[in-house]
Chain A
Amino acid sequence: MGLLTNLKDSISRAASTLFSEEDPKRIGIYGPPNAGKTTLANRIARDWTGDAVGPESHVPHETRRARRKENVEIERDGKKVTIDIVDTPGVTTKVDYTEFLEHDMEKDDAVRRSREATEGVAEAMHWLREDVDGVIYVLDSATDPFTQVNTMLIGIIESQDLPVLILANKIDLEESSVQRIRNAYPQHETIPLSALEGDNMDEVYDKIAEYFG
């Protein structure tokens, strides 16, 4: 009897790895520096795996290399979607090391940090062309979304035909305007949230399951 149940168990396990569990989709978290990408990545990782992805900071370019959290299983309506989340550095077309000096840093450190930042952005652009299956684009809803980098990046994402979800972060701030983001990118669905406070995360997970499941 025991043998039979064991056999049954292992067959169904093999079957489930063969058929139902596809390779996890690799979801890149993109957006300008300071939008809250790492805060969001950490919240998703903590909610579903128990640990974090990397440090959050008000100093721009804290995330200098793409960081990955693999096999994040998100459960929605009894269904499971498995994703790998990739937290990327904020995309920019310029990096000036002297800006780091304003954050109480020595020149050596600032230069090293800016070099790492440029490598990280280059890597993130490369990932976007080659290695991601979907994109979460995070914007700070308290700032103007209508920047060249945002328009360019969203154009690049669209040209790759990747599914993209726009998240309007920091709705806890008074200056927040989700409508401004909806107006700037009406061709995409925009979901409001506060990654810091955890507001509206249920809808965020529903949409992640819907878009990337």
Chain B
Amino acid sequence: MAEVKDPDDGVQIDLISGERMDGLASMEKIRMILDGVRDGNIVILEEGLSPDEESRLIEVTMTEISPDEFNGIEIETYPKSQTADASILDRLMGKQSTQKLTVIGPANQIETLHKDETLISALVSRK
């Protein structure tokens, strides 16, 4: 990502476009997210991750948690639209049904205040 300033100045937010993510392999996406989050940044993905990538993100996060250093992540996306038919259709057409804005941050710095189908409200604190 861009040059990192002194974290005391504030909280860095990286907004990553779907276009940029499209060019990356799953593990590259996960690495990019975790590197950002471990630096204390909030990472916002325009198009989110596929279920398989989410599962790998959890797995890799777990292997990197270490006492007094990294507690893991907080991740929020809008809930998937609950029309089962549509998601089957999406899958048949080879489209990921998870193209939803996703916010990921360090667990000790981000707290979800409110969440529903259309709104995510989070409190971000400095380290």
- Chain A contacts to B: CB under 8 angstroms: 91-97, 111, 114-115, 118-119, 121-122, 125-126, 128-129, 146, 148, 151-152, 155-156, 158-160, 186-187
A156 and B51 within 8 A (CB): yes
A93, A95, A158, A187, most chain B CB atoms within 10 A = A93
Partner of B65 from the list A91, A118, A126, A159 (CB cut-off 8 Å) is A118
Q: Which residue of A lies closest to B96 (CB)?
A: A159
In the bound complex, CA of A25 to CA of B24 (Å): 36
Q: Which residues of A contact B67 (CB under 8 A)?
A: 97, 111, 114-115
Q: Which residues of B contact A111 (CB under 8 A)?
A: 67
B82 and A128 within 8 A (CB): no
Q: Which residues of A contact B77 (CB under 8 A)?
A: 148, 151-152
Partner of B54 from the list A114, A118, A156 (CB cut-off 8 Å) is A156
In the bound complex, CA of A207 to CA of B65 (Å): 38
B55 and A129 within 8 A (CB): yes
What's the nearest-Cβ distance from chain A to residue B70, in Å?
9
In the bound complex, CA of A146 to CA of B116 (Å): 9
In the bound complex, CA of A13 to CA of B50 (Å): 46
B52 and A126 within 8 A (CB): no
In the bound complex, CA of A187 to CA of B51 (Å): 17
Partner of B79 from the list A118, A128, A146 (CB cut-off 8 Å) is A146
B87 and A158 within 8 A (CB): yes
Residues of B29-84 at the interface with A, using a CB-CB cut-off of 8 Å, are 50-52, 54-56, 58-59, 61-63, 65, 67, 71-77, 79-80, 82, 84
- Chain B contacts to A: CB under 8 angstroms: 50-52, 54-56, 58-59, 61-63, 65, 67, 71-77, 79-80, 82, 84, 87, 91, 98, 107-108, 112, 115
A122 and B62 within 8 A (CB): yes
Main secondary structure of the interface of A (DSSP, over half): helix
Contact A155 to B51, CB < 8 A, known contacts A93-B74, A118-B63: yes
Q: Which residues of B contact A93 (CB under 8 A)?
A: 58, 61, 72-75, 107
A155 and B80 within 8 A (CB): yes
The 6 closest A-B pairs by CB, nearest first: A94-B72, A94-B107, A159-B51, A122-B62, A187-B84, A118-B62
Contact A92 to B72, CB < 8 A, known contacts A125-B59, A148-B77, A159-B50: yes
Q: A93-B61, A115-B67, A125-B62 are in contact. List 11 more A-B contacts (CB 8 A).
A: A91-B58, A114-B65, A121-B58, A122-B58, A122-B59, A148-B77, A151-B79, A152-B58, A156-B51, A159-B91, A187-B82
A94 and B71 within 8 A (CB): yes
Q: Which residues of B contact A128 (CB under 8 A)?
A: 55
A121 and B62 within 8 A (CB): yes
Q: Which residue of B lies closest to A188 (CB)?
A: B84
Q: Which residues of A contact B84 (CB under 8 A)?
A: 187
Q: Which residues of A contact B72 (CB under 8 A)?
A: 92-96, 118
Q: Which residues of A contact B61 (CB under 8 A)?
A: 93-94
A159 and B52 within 8 A (CB): yes
In the bound complex, CA of A159 to CA of B67 (Å): 33
Q: Which residues of B contact A95 (CB under 8 A)?
A: 62, 65, 71-72
What's the nearest-Cβ distance from chain B to residue A166, in Å?
14
